[in-house]
Structure 1
Amino acid sequence: MSTKARIKTFFGPTRQYAVAGASNNPSKFGFKVLLWYVSHGLSSIPINPREKEILGQPVVGSVRLVLNAVNEHQDVESYKLSKVDGVSISFLTPPNITVATLKEIATVSGYKDIVKGLWLQPGSYDEAVLDLVDQIGLEGVVIHQDECILVRGEEGMYSANL
């Protein structure tokens, strides 16, 4: 699948978005990417084990909690995860944290059906990350190669009719 097609399938009308590495620091991309989702009216969950709230939104401590809730059709915090068709995740974490998060994802029952997209922002991946994406079978939904949602996200939204 081409990068353009992967960007299109990253988005969906009943999709939940998660921002791994969300930050309260306006100078960090973890803040800027979450703000992008919020400003485009997309339901996005900030993921950060040390924060309680970012941009007025409750923070969830791990991606695994989000995926488990979707799998079990349960809501978390104020997020209506029982009604989504899957989760697309933007990574703004250092590669070693991205690897740890991908390993967590692979422990969730049915993760290949739940995870609809992985957007590896520049700086969040290296060869170890890409190898692990292949090993856990998510290579068909990954966006990387220095693609940034701040640059290409609107194109994906429009191609998905959002």
Structure 2
Amino acid sequence: MVSKALSEFFSSSRYAVVGASNDPSKFGNKVLKWYSSRSLQVTPINPKDDSIEGIKTVNSVENLEEPTQTSISIVTPPKITLQVVKKSILELGVPFVWLQPGAEDKDLVEWLDSQDEQTRSKVIYGGPCILVSGDQLAREKGRL
């Protein structure tokens, strides 16, 4: 399932980074820069900042312009991640979420294990980081 989600993640027309940060040492900033440096349409999601890296933020996934067309990278502490995944996939119809390393925990994995295959197939976790594997995957989908 993870490989299917990885191969389809870049079929979206929009992207978002939950946990985007203005701190250049944080992965939320590095992941956001990864998208913007490749000219991919990206929205940073951060409840405290109005903009990050010159890009206007939204304060939550509920405020994404077109959630059903937006694949999301999540760079949040695990205690926040499960709530974001549930809201994104089950309520908003986000096509895919990619949990960057360190964003998942045992509770999230147990919840995913209890879901149907369709829900599980939309979540990438326990695998590669977009900073390492993103270029190859985006090229395969013609995004780069």
Q: Aligning the two structures, in what range does the TM-score lie when normalised by the shorter sequence?
A: 0.7 to 0.9
Whole-angstrom CA distance in 2 between matches of 1:106 and 1:119: 12
- Aligned-partner residue type, residue 152 of structure 1: S
Distance verdict in 2 for CA 1:117–1:147, change over 3 Å:
same
2:69 alignment partner in structure 1: 86
Matched, 1:50 2:48: yes
> Counterparts in 2 of 1:3-152, with a 5 A limit?
3=3, 5-12=4-11, 15-66=13-64, 69-70=65-66, 86-105=69-88, 108=91, 111=92, 114-135=93-114, 137=116, 138-152=119-133
- Aligned-partner residue type, residue 7 of structure 1: L
Superposition deviation, residue 6 in structure 1? 2.0
- Report the aligned-residue RMSD: 1.9
Q: Which runs of 4+ in 1 moved over 6 A?
A: none
Structure 2: 5+ residue stretches without partners: none
Distance verdict in 2 for CA 1:136–1:45, change over 3 Å:
farther
Superposition deviation, residue 139 in structure 1? 0.8
- Aligned-partner residue type, residue 135 of structure 2: E
TM-score, with length taken from structure 2 = 0.87
TM-score, with length taken from structure 1 = 0.78
Question: Does structure 2 conserve the Cα–Cα contact (< 8 Å) formed by 1:102 and 1:133?
Answer: no
Name the SS for the 2:104 alignment partner: coil
- Aligned-partner residue type, residue 100 of structure 1: Q
Whole-angstrom CA distance in 1 between matches of 2:24 and 2:79: 23
2:142 alignment partner in structure 1: 161
- Aligned-partner residue type, residue 103 of structure 1: K
Superposition deviation, residue 105 in structure 1? 2.7
Whole-angstrom CA distance in 1 between matches of 2:15 and 2:112: 18
Structure 1: 5+ residue stretches without partners: 72-84
